[in-house]
Structure 1
């Protein structure tokens, strides 16, 4: 607990830091419940103690669930975690996700946080995807050093990727890369699950050198979600994402580092990741990405709302593009403890097509 605390004796009280501390403790996985509050007695105002009450998580935890969204169809997920591997305070986590388009197995091993909220993660992943007539099978493993005790967590990442790729059942190749990257996040919102005010920002830059990859590249991506309460019953959400890969060609770069867009959480009115580079009857990832969205929600009571939105974006391979895929429409919202349930009817202007989108939560 001491290693994650963002406040220090003698500092002026900052509610946001106390909320951040609670969130970091919950996210660590060691605790099932956290309550942090300052002693408000006047006689202690110059040196008020911060009281923290926690309930430990069970050592072993298993959860499974089924779900559905219009991007990938029916979905099954199961997770297992051990919060104290070999009585060392190291955490082991495993997750298996299965749906019609993506099958993913990931194993993680986390060190306990050190002073300043520094911790390491080791991971390995096996993933198969069949999206827009492109099939990929990826094996990846890596390590990261994470700095998580501040409002702007960051991570340094080294990961190895090997991928077999088939396009339209005809074209096939193998790609690999040893990736070095740094990731930074910024978050300040009034609520963790369904915020009405604040922002969530993230950025990552990295690359793979020529000697350690089938295609040398440098990659950067940034995203932002901005929340504005316009009235007691009206919310405005602005979303944006931009990415670019610098390389001699996209061929040889593992698909996880390229860009496609379209679907429930990006550009509505289009099928999941159907906006990208056309190749032999398939849509594959490109080296450029630009997406933006404006959404207004009017709430009726505490839980029900109606939204209007406009999305626009594209993913392409080189140069500048003047054709932008736009989608607009109306949707229904229902607030739940895991985030808003969203049902949207959107018109994709570029392809003159209507699509129904169903999802839960926000895509930060």
Structure 2
């Protein structure tokens, strides 16, 4: 018995090994027979090749194996030809051994195709006037005398069915669904009649969770009893709770079998996420040097859903401590009020700054997905330019931001754009020691060109204030770096003081054009031209130029970019940049 079990085990292991490694070995030791298909257009050939038999005979297959393959090949192609509208297709097969390997041929005469001469498509019932159905009816599967491709008919039926389910017409049924073919006349007629039946609505909404109070949970609920049912609303509701950050698992159950009087009860079960999230990182950045960072996110402090986000960073040139308290507002998915404070020590390049700030920001989403922020921020700052005395500032800044991003792919866009606008100011004597007004604007536009894409970027800054030396470093403009003018170090472009130190500018203008070309799988190469300057007078700007090239790898977390840039007139002075993250 033991020996028998051992033999069975060996056989099983051998079978598994054959499954895993056999085909590879066979592919290496026994090349497949050559197959040539003639007589077809490229489009028709591509359609029929989907019906090729799975197993193609080997070079040295027997005549019986080749004969069986011909039968299977013709049968599959005959079905495929009919599915594409060619009911009279003729197939002539042949084969011969050449240098010890079969060369198989299949000559196809498609014949005259069956064409659609009429189609009657109707939607009736309570959903007759739904825009989704109106749009489908305006775009029928065929035009007059189109070749009868059965896949188009099946896809259109699926479109109508899915539209009905999406809109809540869950009892929708086809009263007619037929394709009538006259193969002798090469003509076909299509009849589709969908009766939507009544529309279901949402019923009672029951929520199971134990961390937020009823008032806040109610503000998160967008599904209301009595409103029309739609699968899109169910998905949106699930995503709203997932975006909140409070829950690790969101289950929205809408069991149609429990519907009464066309009302579907909704049961939502919310599983809390871990209350605290810790994150520790170490790395290197052109703006910080070597750095270590610790972060804490407390997802909720109590039943009102307030969140705390704390971080501390120690770095060569930019160290900071920040604390934020976020409170959900009327529409918590889009509206929030944030209280923040922070301490920053910046020693990068020729300007050193120590700053403490506190303030609040109200954020909401407005028309057409624009994001609006209104804020008040009190800043205590000491800035010292290299070679000069330190300057202390107190500013109470009030301002607003407006932004929008539109993209076809959040991680690696081939088409998309974003816009970021900011306007802020302070008044001397109103908790401030000087008056100023400042505008910042930036934009990025990506679109396809040939096989690649063109990435365009621009940034503009304008400050109305007294002397540059009186401005805190955080309110000055600098150019240079991976996201500015490549070919120059971070914050290496700006006006200089009497000691020759770069101290920034009151205004900013940068632009970039980059072309990225795919080379293989997730890899691509890029070439770019950047230009920009930070200056105090628009008539005295001195635009610096940088050119270079780089490589791109589309990783699961977004593109990884490695660039090398050269400043204008200094082709031997290269600067390298490494960055990771979404394009927009």
| CA apart distance, 1:252 | 2.5
Q: Paired residue for 1:129?
A: 346
| CA apart distance, 1:197 | 1.5
Contact 2:559–2:583 (CA under 8 A) maintained in structure 1: no
Q: Deviations over 1:333-354 (max 9, x none)?
A: 1112222111111111166632
TM-score norm. by structure 1 comes to: 0.85
TM-score norm. by structure 2 comes to: 0.55
Match of 2:404 among 162, 168, 186: 186
Alpha-carbon distance in structure 1 between the residues aligned to 2:305 and 2:487? 46
Change (3 A) 1:34 1:248: farther
| CA apart distance, 1:99 | 2.4
Q: Deviations over 1:97-133 (max 9, x none)?
A: 3322111111000002422732100000100101222
Alpha-carbon distance in structure 2 between the residues aligned to 1:333 and 1:71? 21
Q: Paired residue for 1:332?
A: 551
Unaligned runs of 5+ in 1: 40-46
Change (3 A) 1:159 1:16: farther
Q: Paired residue for 1:42?
A: none
* Greater CA drift, 190-199 or 152-161: 190-199
SS of residue paired to 2:558: coil
Alpha-carbon distance in structure 2 between the residues aligned to 1:11 and 1:193? 35
Contact 2:287–2:318 (CA under 8 A) maintained in structure 1: no
Pairing 1:79-228 to 2, within 5 Å after superposition: 79-115=295-331, 117-148=334-365, 151-168=369-386, 170-211=388-429, 212-228=431-447
SS of residue paired to 1:110: strand
| CA apart distance, 1:48 | 12
Alpha-carbon distance in structure 1 between the residues aligned to 2:420 and 2:323? 24
Q: Which has the higher strand share?
A: 1
Change (3 A) 1:261 1:249: same
SS of residue paired to 1:284: strand
| CA apart distance, 1:59 | 1.1
| CA apart distance, 1:200 | 1.2
Change (3 A) 1:31 1:68: farther
Q: Paired residue for 1:299?
A: 518
Change (3 A) 1:21 1:337: farther
1:315 aligns with 2:534: yes
Contact 2:535–2:541 (CA under 8 A) maintained in structure 1: no
1:347 aligns with 2:566: yes
Pairing 1:22-33 to 2, within 5 Å after superposition: 28-32=244-248
SS of residue paired to 1:85: coil
Q: Paired residue for 2:484?
A: 266
Q: Deviations over 1:302-344 (max 9, x none)?
A: 3211111111111011232352111111101111222211111
Q: Paired residue for 2:452?
A: 234
Alpha-carbon distance in structure 1 between the residues aligned to 2:420 and 2:277? 30
Contact 1:214–1:253 (CA under 8 A) maintained in structure 2: no
| CA apart distance, 1:137 | 0.3
Alpha-carbon distance in structure 1 between the residues aligned to 2:529 and 2:251? 39
Contact 2:338–2:361 (CA under 8 A) maintained in structure 1: yes
Alpha-carbon distance in structure 2 between the residues aligned to 1:328 and 1:176? 40
The alignment yields a C-alpha RMSD, in angstroms, of: 3.5
Contact 2:351–2:473 (CA under 8 A) maintained in structure 1: no
* Greater CA drift, 25-34 or 321-330: 25-34
Alpha-carbon distance in structure 2 between the residues aligned to 1:25 and 1:283? 48
Unaligned runs of 5+ in 2: 1-216, 256-262
Contact 1:21–1:149 (CA under 8 A) maintained in structure 2: no
Q: Deviations over 1:17-62 (max 9, x none)?
A: 99998887655433457799x99xxxxxxx9999999764321111
Change (3 A) 1:314 1:88: same
Q: Deviations over 1:66-107 (max 9, x none)?
A: 222344332322210111113431000012233221111110
Contact 1:344–1:358 (CA under 8 A) maintained in structure 2: yes
1:257 aligns with 2:475: yes
Contact 1:138–1:164 (CA under 8 A) maintained in structure 2: yes
Contact 1:223–1:241 (CA under 8 A) maintained in structure 2: yes
Larger relative contact order (Cα-Cα within 8 Å, sequence gap ≥ 6)? 1
Change (3 A) 1:169 1:297: same
The count of aligned residue pairs is 356
Alpha-carbon distance in structure 1 between the residues aligned to 2:275 and 2:544? 48
Q: Deviations over 1:182-230 (max 9, x none)?
A: 1111111122232222111110101001113222100011111112133
| CA apart distance, 1:275 | 0.7
* Greater CA drift, 254-263 or 154-163: 254-263
